[in-house]
Structure 1
Amino acid sequence: MRRRTRWLSILPAMVAGYLLLVVIWAWATFDTVTAHMPAIADAPLSARQTQILLRVEDPAFFVHHGVSLTSGQGFATISGAVARDVYLEGADLGGAGGALQALYRGVFACCKRIDLGRDAMAVVLDARLSKARQLALYTTHVYLGTHNGRQIMGLSAASRNYLGKSLEQTSEEEFIGLVAMIKAPNAYHPVRQPAAYATRVARVRALVQGTCKAHGWFDTTLAHCGA
Protein backbone atom coordinates (compact mmCIF):
# COMPACT_ATOMS: atom_id res chain seq x y z
CA MET A 1 0.00 0.00 0.00
CA ARG A 2 2.82 2.40 0.91
CA ARG A 3 4.60 1.69 -2.37
CA ARG A 4 1.42 2.34 -4.31
CA THR A 5 0.79 5.58 -2.43
CA ARG A 6 4.36 6.67 -3.11
CA TRP A 7 4.00 6.06 -6.84
CA LEU A 8 0.74 7.98 -6.93
CA SER A 9 2.35 10.91 -5.14
CA ILE A 10 5.20 11.24 -7.65
CA LEU A 11 3.13 10.47 -10.76
CA PRO A 12 2.16 14.12 -11.44
CA ALA A 13 5.81 15.17 -11.33
CA MET A 14 6.76 12.35 -13.69
CA VAL A 15 4.05 13.33 -16.17
CA ALA A 16 5.05 17.00 -15.96
CA GLY A 17 8.69 16.07 -16.58
CA TYR A 18 7.73 13.91 -19.55
CA LEU A 19 5.64 16.70 -21.10
CA LEU A 20 8.39 19.28 -20.56
CA LEU A 21 10.84 17.00 -22.36
CA VAL A 22 8.38 16.58 -25.24
CA VAL A 23 7.94 20.35 -25.55
CA ILE A 24 11.71 20.96 -25.58
CA TRP A 25 12.22 18.19 -28.17
CA ALA A 26 9.34 19.36 -30.37
CA TRP A 27 10.57 22.95 -30.34
CA ALA A 28 14.20 21.99 -31.05
CA THR A 29 13.35 19.65 -33.93
CA PHE A 30 10.61 21.74 -35.55
CA ASP A 31 12.75 23.14 -38.35
CA THR A 32 14.13 19.69 -39.16
CA VAL A 33 10.82 17.84 -39.26
CA THR A 34 9.12 20.56 -41.30
CA ALA A 35 11.95 21.03 -43.80
CA HIS A 36 10.51 18.48 -46.23
CA MET A 37 6.84 19.37 -45.92
CA PRO A 38 5.18 19.98 -49.29
CA ALA A 39 4.58 23.55 -50.38
CA ILE A 40 0.81 23.93 -50.06
CA ALA A 41 -0.49 27.47 -50.28
CA ASP A 42 -4.07 27.02 -49.04
CA ALA A 43 -6.55 24.36 -48.09
CA PRO A 44 -8.52 23.28 -51.19
CA LEU A 45 -11.83 24.19 -49.54
CA SER A 46 -14.52 26.80 -50.01
CA ALA A 47 -15.56 28.89 -47.03
CA ARG A 48 -18.63 26.69 -46.51
CA GLN A 49 -16.61 23.49 -46.77
CA THR A 50 -14.17 24.82 -44.19
CA GLN A 51 -17.09 25.65 -41.92
CA ILE A 52 -18.48 22.11 -42.22
CA LEU A 53 -15.12 20.44 -41.66
CA LEU A 54 -14.37 22.46 -38.54
CA ARG A 55 -17.89 22.05 -37.17
CA VAL A 56 -17.38 18.29 -37.18
CA GLU A 57 -13.67 17.84 -36.51
CA ASP A 58 -12.47 20.88 -34.56
CA PRO A 59 -15.00 23.63 -33.74
CA ALA A 60 -12.46 25.75 -31.84
CA PHE A 61 -9.66 25.40 -34.39
CA PHE A 62 -9.10 29.10 -35.00
CA VAL A 63 -9.09 30.03 -31.31
CA HIS A 64 -7.41 27.14 -29.46
CA HIS A 65 -3.65 26.77 -29.08
CA GLY A 66 -3.26 23.19 -30.21
CA VAL A 67 -5.40 21.49 -27.57
CA SER A 68 -9.12 22.00 -27.06
CA LEU A 69 -11.78 20.91 -24.60
CA THR A 70 -14.64 21.98 -26.84
CA SER A 71 -17.74 19.85 -26.27
CA GLY A 72 -17.62 16.72 -28.36
CA GLN A 73 -13.91 16.87 -29.18
CA GLY A 74 -11.95 16.07 -26.06
CA PHE A 75 -8.29 16.71 -26.77
CA ALA A 76 -8.61 15.73 -30.44
CA THR A 77 -7.78 18.65 -32.73
CA ILE A 78 -6.65 19.26 -36.27
CA SER A 79 -3.42 20.63 -34.79
CA GLY A 80 -2.92 17.31 -33.01
CA ALA A 81 -3.45 15.35 -36.21
CA VAL A 82 -0.95 17.54 -38.07
CA ALA A 83 1.54 17.26 -35.20
CA ARG A 84 1.29 13.47 -35.39
CA ASP A 85 1.98 13.55 -39.14
CA VAL A 86 4.85 16.02 -38.83
CA TYR A 87 6.64 14.72 -35.75
CA LEU A 88 5.79 11.01 -35.63
CA GLU A 89 5.07 9.95 -39.20
CA GLY A 90 7.39 12.29 -41.06
CA ALA A 91 11.15 12.20 -41.59
CA ASP A 92 13.26 10.01 -39.31
CA LEU A 93 15.54 12.02 -37.05
CA GLY A 94 19.04 11.02 -36.03
CA GLY A 95 20.96 11.09 -32.77
CA ALA A 96 19.29 11.87 -29.47
CA GLY A 97 16.37 13.52 -31.29
CA GLY A 98 15.81 10.33 -33.22
CA ALA A 99 15.88 8.23 -30.07
CA LEU A 100 13.22 10.41 -28.50
CA GLN A 101 11.20 10.30 -31.72
CA ALA A 102 11.25 6.49 -31.58
CA LEU A 103 10.12 6.64 -27.94
CA TYR A 104 7.24 8.99 -28.72
CA ARG A 105 6.19 6.86 -31.68
CA GLY A 106 6.00 3.89 -29.34
CA VAL A 107 3.99 5.80 -26.76
CA PHE A 108 1.55 6.99 -29.42
CA ALA A 109 1.17 3.47 -30.85
CA CYS A 110 0.33 2.30 -27.35
CA CYS A 111 -1.88 5.08 -26.08
CA LYS A 112 -3.16 7.03 -29.12
CA ARG A 113 -6.08 9.20 -27.98
CA ILE A 114 -4.77 9.64 -24.44
CA ASP A 115 -1.19 10.39 -25.49
CA LEU A 116 -0.51 13.72 -23.79
CA GLY A 117 2.90 13.83 -25.47
CA ARG A 118 1.27 14.18 -28.88
CA ASP A 119 -0.89 16.95 -27.45
CA ALA A 120 2.23 18.74 -26.18
CA MET A 121 3.64 18.50 -29.72
CA ALA A 122 0.40 20.06 -30.98
CA VAL A 123 0.88 23.06 -28.68
CA VAL A 124 4.40 23.62 -30.03
CA LEU A 125 3.29 23.14 -33.62
CA ASP A 126 0.41 25.58 -33.18
CA ALA A 127 2.81 28.18 -31.83
CA ARG A 128 5.12 27.84 -34.84
CA LEU A 129 2.84 27.00 -37.77
CA SER A 130 0.00 29.21 -38.98
CA LYS A 131 -3.57 27.98 -38.80
CA ALA A 132 -3.85 28.32 -42.58
CA ARG A 133 -0.82 26.05 -43.07
CA GLN A 134 -2.13 23.52 -40.56
CA LEU A 135 -5.49 23.38 -42.31
CA ALA A 136 -3.83 22.99 -45.71
CA LEU A 137 -1.69 20.09 -44.48
CA TYR A 138 -4.63 18.41 -42.79
CA THR A 139 -6.99 18.59 -45.76
CA THR A 140 -4.36 17.22 -48.14
CA HIS A 141 -3.05 14.45 -45.87
CA VAL A 142 -6.00 13.19 -43.81
CA TYR A 143 -6.47 9.45 -44.31
CA LEU A 144 -9.77 8.55 -45.98
CA GLY A 145 -9.69 4.81 -46.37
CA THR A 146 -8.51 2.28 -48.92
CA HIS A 147 -10.13 2.15 -52.33
CA ASN A 148 -9.25 -0.13 -55.23
CA GLY A 149 -6.16 -1.27 -53.35
CA ARG A 150 -4.83 2.25 -52.70
CA GLN A 151 -4.75 4.43 -49.62
CA ILE A 152 -6.70 7.63 -50.18
CA MET A 153 -5.01 10.64 -48.62
CA GLY A 154 -6.70 14.03 -48.51
CA LEU A 155 -10.17 15.34 -49.22
CA SER A 156 -9.41 16.16 -52.87
CA ALA A 157 -8.24 12.62 -53.58
CA ALA A 158 -11.27 11.23 -51.75
CA SER A 159 -13.62 13.32 -53.86
CA ARG A 160 -12.00 12.12 -57.09
CA ASN A 161 -11.94 8.46 -56.06
CA TYR A 162 -15.30 8.11 -54.34
CA LEU A 163 -17.35 10.68 -56.24
CA GLY A 164 -15.55 10.99 -59.56
CA LYS A 165 -15.38 14.78 -59.36
CA SER A 166 -13.21 17.56 -58.01
CA LEU A 167 -13.72 18.83 -54.49
CA GLU A 168 -15.03 22.17 -55.75
CA GLN A 169 -17.72 20.35 -57.72
CA THR A 170 -19.13 18.46 -54.74
CA SER A 171 -22.51 19.37 -53.32
CA GLU A 172 -22.84 20.14 -49.63
CA GLU A 173 -24.36 16.70 -49.03
CA GLU A 174 -21.47 15.01 -50.83
CA PHE A 175 -18.91 16.98 -48.88
CA ILE A 176 -20.62 16.08 -45.60
CA GLY A 177 -20.27 12.46 -46.69
CA LEU A 178 -16.51 12.85 -47.11
CA VAL A 179 -16.12 14.57 -43.74
CA ALA A 180 -18.25 11.87 -42.11
CA MET A 181 -15.65 9.27 -43.12
CA ILE A 182 -12.75 10.93 -41.30
CA LYS A 183 -13.46 9.42 -37.88
CA ALA A 184 -13.06 5.83 -39.16
CA PRO A 185 -12.77 5.78 -42.96
CA ASN A 186 -12.78 2.03 -43.45
CA ALA A 187 -15.57 1.43 -40.95
CA TYR A 188 -17.62 4.15 -42.68
CA HIS A 189 -16.57 3.22 -46.19
CA PRO A 190 -19.19 4.25 -48.78
CA VAL A 191 -18.49 1.22 -50.98
CA ARG A 192 -17.69 -1.60 -48.55
CA GLN A 193 -19.80 -0.45 -45.58
CA PRO A 194 -22.74 1.43 -47.13
CA ALA A 195 -25.13 0.96 -44.20
CA ALA A 196 -22.64 2.17 -41.59
CA TYR A 197 -21.67 5.00 -43.92
CA ALA A 198 -25.28 6.13 -44.38
CA THR A 199 -25.86 6.11 -40.62
CA ARG A 200 -22.72 8.13 -39.98
CA VAL A 201 -23.59 10.66 -42.68
CA ALA A 202 -27.06 11.16 -41.18
CA ARG A 203 -25.52 11.85 -37.78
CA VAL A 204 -22.95 14.29 -39.13
CA ARG A 205 -25.62 16.03 -41.24
CA ALA A 206 -27.68 16.58 -38.09
CA LEU A 207 -24.66 18.07 -36.34
CA VAL A 208 -23.89 20.38 -39.25
CA GLN A 209 -27.51 21.50 -39.52
CA GLY A 210 -27.66 22.22 -35.81
CA THR A 211 -30.44 19.76 -35.03
CA CYS A 212 -28.18 17.67 -32.81
CA LYS A 213 -25.21 18.33 -30.51
CA ALA A 214 -22.47 16.15 -29.10
CA HIS A 215 -23.07 14.73 -25.63
CA GLY A 216 -20.04 15.74 -23.61
CA TRP A 217 -16.36 16.22 -24.35
CA PHE A 218 -15.61 12.86 -25.92
CA ASP A 219 -18.75 12.20 -27.96
CA THR A 220 -17.50 11.91 -31.54
CA THR A 221 -19.76 9.00 -32.53
CA LEU A 222 -22.92 11.14 -32.25
CA ALA A 223 -24.93 7.95 -31.73
CA HIS A 224 -28.01 9.90 -30.63
CA CYS A 225 -28.05 12.06 -33.78
CA GLY A 226 -29.72 11.47 -37.11
CA ALA A 227 -32.21 8.94 -35.81
Structure 2
Amino acid sequence: MADIKRRIFYVVVAVAVAAFLGLFGYEAVSVAFARVATPEIFARYEAETDNGASLPAGLSRERIETLLAVQDPSFWTHDGVDWSAPLTATTVTQSVVKRLYFENFQKGFSKIRQTLIARFAVAPLTSKNAQLAAFIDVNGFEPASQKWFGKTLAELDDDEFLSLVATNNNPKDYAPGTQANAERVRRIEKYLAGLCERRGFSDVWLESCGG
Protein backbone atom coordinates (compact mmCIF):
# COMPACT_ATOMS: atom_id res chain seq x y z
CA MET A 1 0.00 0.00 0.00
CA ALA A 2 2.80 2.37 0.95
CA ASP A 3 4.56 1.53 -2.31
CA ILE A 4 1.44 2.41 -4.32
CA LYS A 5 1.05 5.73 -2.52
CA ARG A 6 4.69 6.53 -3.19
CA ARG A 7 4.28 5.79 -6.89
CA ILE A 8 1.16 7.96 -7.06
CA PHE A 9 3.06 10.77 -5.35
CA TYR A 10 5.91 10.53 -7.87
CA VAL A 11 3.44 10.57 -10.76
CA VAL A 12 1.69 13.67 -9.39
CA VAL A 13 5.01 15.44 -8.91
CA ALA A 14 6.15 14.50 -12.42
CA VAL A 15 2.91 15.79 -13.95
CA ALA A 16 3.18 19.03 -11.98
CA VAL A 17 6.79 19.57 -13.07
CA ALA A 18 5.92 18.83 -16.68
CA ALA A 19 3.01 21.28 -16.55
CA PHE A 20 5.24 23.96 -15.04
CA LEU A 21 7.95 23.45 -17.66
CA GLY A 22 5.34 23.53 -20.42
CA LEU A 23 3.91 26.79 -19.11
CA PHE A 24 7.38 28.28 -18.67
CA GLY A 25 8.30 27.35 -22.22
CA TYR A 26 5.09 28.82 -23.62
CA GLU A 27 5.54 32.09 -21.77
CA ALA A 28 9.21 32.25 -22.82
CA VAL A 29 8.18 31.92 -26.47
CA SER A 30 5.52 34.61 -26.00
CA VAL A 31 8.09 37.01 -24.60
CA ALA A 32 10.51 36.21 -27.44
CA PHE A 33 7.85 37.02 -30.05
CA ALA A 34 6.96 40.20 -28.14
CA ARG A 35 10.59 41.34 -28.18
CA VAL A 36 10.72 40.91 -31.96
CA ALA A 37 7.47 42.85 -32.44
CA THR A 38 8.13 45.66 -29.94
CA PRO A 39 10.29 47.99 -32.11
CA GLU A 40 7.61 48.08 -34.80
CA ILE A 41 4.75 48.43 -32.32
CA PHE A 42 6.40 51.39 -30.62
CA ALA A 43 7.91 53.04 -33.71
CA ARG A 44 5.20 55.74 -33.90
CA TYR A 45 5.46 56.53 -30.19
CA GLU A 46 9.24 56.80 -30.30
CA ALA A 47 8.89 59.13 -33.31
CA GLU A 48 6.31 61.26 -31.50
CA THR A 49 8.67 61.71 -28.54
CA ASP A 50 11.89 62.21 -30.54
CA ASN A 51 13.10 58.75 -29.55
CA GLY A 52 12.22 59.38 -25.93
CA ALA A 53 13.79 62.83 -25.65
CA SER A 54 10.45 64.68 -25.41
CA LEU A 55 7.30 64.29 -23.36
CA PRO A 56 4.09 63.23 -25.13
CA ALA A 57 2.50 66.13 -27.01
CA GLY A 58 -0.24 68.02 -25.25
CA LEU A 59 0.86 67.39 -21.68
CA SER A 60 3.16 69.49 -19.53
CA ARG A 61 5.68 67.97 -17.14
CA GLU A 62 3.42 68.96 -14.24
CA ARG A 63 0.42 67.15 -15.70
CA ILE A 64 2.47 64.09 -16.52
CA GLU A 65 3.58 63.95 -12.89
CA THR A 66 -0.02 64.36 -11.72
CA LEU A 67 -1.11 61.49 -13.93
CA LEU A 68 1.73 59.27 -12.73
CA ALA A 69 1.15 60.10 -9.07
CA VAL A 70 -2.30 58.62 -9.44
CA GLN A 71 -1.67 55.88 -12.01
CA ASP A 72 1.88 54.68 -11.44
CA PRO A 73 3.97 56.50 -8.79
CA SER A 74 7.17 54.57 -9.43
CA PHE A 75 6.98 54.75 -13.22
CA TRP A 76 10.29 56.55 -13.76
CA THR A 77 12.27 54.03 -11.69
CA HIS A 78 10.59 50.64 -12.14
CA ASP A 79 11.42 48.07 -14.83
CA GLY A 80 7.90 47.89 -16.25
CA VAL A 81 6.47 46.18 -13.20
CA ASP A 82 5.90 47.36 -9.64
CA TRP A 83 7.02 44.26 -7.75
CA SER A 84 5.10 45.24 -4.62
CA ALA A 85 1.93 44.20 -6.49
CA PRO A 86 2.98 42.66 -9.83
CA LEU A 87 -0.21 40.69 -10.47
CA THR A 88 -2.85 42.69 -8.60
CA ALA A 89 -2.17 46.19 -9.94
CA THR A 90 -1.26 47.58 -13.35
CA THR A 91 1.61 49.90 -14.19
CA VAL A 92 1.61 52.23 -17.18
CA THR A 93 3.80 49.72 -18.99
CA GLN A 94 1.52 46.79 -18.18
CA SER A 95 -1.51 48.81 -19.28
CA VAL A 96 0.10 49.45 -22.66
CA VAL A 97 0.98 45.77 -23.03
CA LYS A 98 -2.63 44.79 -22.32
CA ARG A 99 -3.88 47.00 -25.15
CA LEU A 100 -1.17 46.44 -27.74
CA TYR A 101 -0.16 42.79 -27.31
CA PHE A 102 -3.47 41.03 -26.58
CA GLU A 103 -6.56 40.58 -28.72
CA ASN A 104 -8.61 39.14 -25.88
CA PHE A 105 -7.03 39.76 -22.48
CA GLN A 106 -8.27 37.46 -19.71
CA LYS A 107 -7.36 37.35 -16.05
CA GLY A 108 -5.06 34.56 -14.92
CA PHE A 109 -2.34 33.41 -17.28
CA SER A 110 -2.78 36.52 -19.44
CA LYS A 111 -1.78 38.63 -16.44
CA ILE A 112 1.40 36.61 -16.05
CA ARG A 113 2.21 37.03 -19.75
CA GLN A 114 1.39 40.75 -19.56
CA THR A 115 3.81 41.15 -16.66
CA LEU A 116 6.59 39.23 -18.40
CA ILE A 117 6.21 41.18 -21.65
CA ALA A 118 6.22 44.47 -19.75
CA ARG A 119 9.40 43.50 -17.91
CA PHE A 120 11.40 41.71 -20.60
CA ALA A 121 10.19 43.27 -23.86
CA VAL A 122 8.71 46.75 -23.47
CA ALA A 123 10.76 48.05 -20.53
CA PRO A 124 14.21 47.23 -21.97
CA LEU A 125 13.41 48.04 -25.60
CA THR A 126 11.43 51.30 -25.41
CA SER A 127 11.83 54.72 -23.82
CA LYS A 128 9.75 55.87 -20.88
CA ASN A 129 8.33 58.79 -22.84
CA ALA A 130 7.27 56.48 -25.67
CA GLN A 131 5.52 54.29 -23.11
CA LEU A 132 3.70 57.36 -21.81
CA ALA A 133 2.69 58.38 -25.32
CA ALA A 134 1.37 54.87 -25.94
CA PHE A 135 -0.51 54.90 -22.62
CA ILE A 136 -2.23 58.19 -23.43
CA ASP A 137 -3.11 56.95 -26.90
CA VAL A 138 -4.40 53.46 -26.15
CA ASN A 139 -6.42 54.65 -23.16
CA GLY A 140 -8.13 57.26 -25.30
CA PHE A 141 -7.28 60.42 -23.37
CA GLU A 142 -7.59 62.66 -26.43
CA PRO A 143 -11.02 61.41 -27.64
CA ALA A 144 -12.24 61.34 -24.02
CA SER A 145 -11.23 64.98 -23.65
CA GLN A 146 -13.15 65.84 -26.80
CA LYS A 147 -16.17 63.81 -25.68
CA TRP A 148 -16.53 65.11 -22.14
CA PHE A 149 -15.26 68.67 -22.46
CA GLY A 150 -15.31 69.54 -26.16
CA LYS A 151 -11.60 70.42 -25.99
CA THR A 152 -8.29 68.91 -26.92
CA LEU A 153 -6.27 67.37 -24.11
CA ALA A 154 -3.88 70.31 -24.20
CA GLU A 155 -6.76 72.79 -23.82
CA LEU A 156 -8.18 71.34 -20.61
CA ASP A 157 -7.91 73.45 -17.47
CA ASP A 158 -6.51 71.87 -14.31
CA ASP A 159 -9.90 70.84 -12.89
CA GLU A 160 -10.97 69.25 -16.16
CA PHE A 161 -7.70 67.37 -16.49
CA LEU A 162 -7.99 66.00 -12.96
CA SER A 163 -11.57 64.96 -13.65
CA LEU A 164 -10.35 63.07 -16.71
CA VAL A 165 -7.61 61.36 -14.72
CA ALA A 166 -10.19 60.42 -12.08
CA THR A 167 -12.14 58.29 -14.53
CA ASN A 168 -9.33 55.77 -14.01
CA ASN A 169 -10.07 54.42 -17.49
CA ASN A 170 -13.55 53.51 -16.27
CA PRO A 171 -15.91 56.16 -17.67
CA LYS A 172 -18.89 53.87 -17.24
CA ASP A 173 -18.76 54.30 -13.45
CA TYR A 174 -16.55 57.37 -13.01
CA ALA A 175 -17.51 59.67 -15.87
CA PRO A 176 -16.81 63.40 -15.45
CA GLY A 177 -19.83 65.08 -13.94
CA THR A 178 -20.89 62.11 -11.82
CA GLN A 179 -20.79 61.97 -8.04
CA ALA A 180 -18.32 59.09 -8.18
CA ASN A 181 -15.93 61.15 -10.31
CA ALA A 182 -16.24 64.16 -8.00
CA GLU A 183 -15.46 61.97 -4.97
CA ARG A 184 -12.39 60.50 -6.64
CA VAL A 185 -11.20 63.97 -7.65
CA ARG A 186 -11.52 65.03 -4.01
CA ARG A 187 -9.43 62.06 -2.88
CA ILE A 188 -6.80 62.71 -5.53
CA GLU A 189 -6.55 66.36 -4.49
CA LYS A 190 -6.01 65.35 -0.86
CA TYR A 191 -3.39 62.82 -1.94
CA LEU A 192 -1.52 65.29 -4.13
CA ALA A 193 -1.57 67.85 -1.31
CA GLY A 194 0.07 65.36 1.04
CA LEU A 195 -2.97 65.13 3.34
CA CYS A 196 -3.25 61.35 3.05
CA GLU A 197 -1.11 58.44 1.91
CA ARG A 198 -1.50 55.69 -0.63
CA ARG A 199 -1.72 52.21 0.92
CA GLY A 200 0.63 50.60 -1.53
CA PHE A 201 0.56 50.56 -5.31
CA SER A 202 -2.66 48.54 -5.50
CA ASP A 203 -4.58 51.24 -3.62
CA VAL A 204 -5.89 52.87 -6.80
CA TRP A 205 -8.95 54.24 -5.01
CA LEU A 206 -6.89 55.98 -2.32
CA GLU A 207 -8.86 54.48 0.54
CA SER A 208 -7.08 56.50 3.22
CA CYS A 209 -8.13 59.71 1.49
CA GLY A 210 -11.83 59.10 1.98
CA GLY A 211 -13.96 60.48 4.80
Tell whether the structures are fold-level matches, with TM greater than 0.5.
yes
Specify the alignment match of 1:27 in structure 2.
Answer: 35
- TM-score, normalised to structure 2, is 0.76
Q: Does 1:164 align with 2:150?
A: yes
Specify the alignment match of 2:60 in structure 1.
Answer: 46
Unaligned runs of 5+ in 2: 1-7, 50-54
Against the structure 1 CA distance between its residues 224 and 180, is the aligned structure 2 distance closer, same or farther, given a 3 Å change threshold? Answer: same
Specify the alignment match of 1:209 in structure 2.
Answer: 193
Displacement of 1:47 after TM fit? 1.1
1:161 and 1:12 map into 2 onto residues whose CA distance is: 46
Displacement of 1:174 after TM fit? 2.2
Displacement of 1:134 after TM fit? 1.0
Specify the alignment match of 2:116 in structure 1.
Answer: 120
Unaligned runs of 5+ in 1: 90-104, 143-152
Q: Secondary structure at the match of 2:135?
A: helix
Against the structure 1 CA distance between its residues 36 and 51, is the aligned structure 2 distance closer, same or farther, given a 3 Å change threshold? Answer: closer
Map residues 57-68 of structure 1 onto 2, 5 A cutoff.
57-68=71-82
CA RMSD of aligned residues (A): 3.0
Contact 1:188-1:196 within 8 A present in 2 as well: yes
How many residues align structurally?
196
Contact 1:67-1:77 within 8 A present in 2 as well: yes
- TM-score, normalised to structure 1, is 0.72
Specify the alignment match of 1:147 in structure 2.
Answer: none
Map residues 172-211 of structure 1 onto 2, 5 A cutoff.
172-191=158-177, 194-211=178-195
- 1:133 is matched with which residue: 105, 130, 133? 130
* Bigger Rg, which one: 2
**Paired AA for residue 165 in structure 2:** V
Contact 1:176-1:201 within 8 A present in 2 as well: yes
Contact 2:173-2:180 within 8 A present in 1 as well: yes
Map residues 71-110 of structure 1 onto 2, 5 A cutoff.
74-89=88-103, 105=104, 108-110=105-107
Aligned sequence identity (%): 27
Contact 2:45-2:130 within 8 A present in 1 as well: no
Against the structure 1 CA distance between its residues 8 and 216, is the aligned structure 2 distance closer, same or farther, given a 3 Å change threshold? Answer: farther
**Paired AA for residue 183 in structure 2:** T
**Paired AA for residue 72 in structure 2:** D
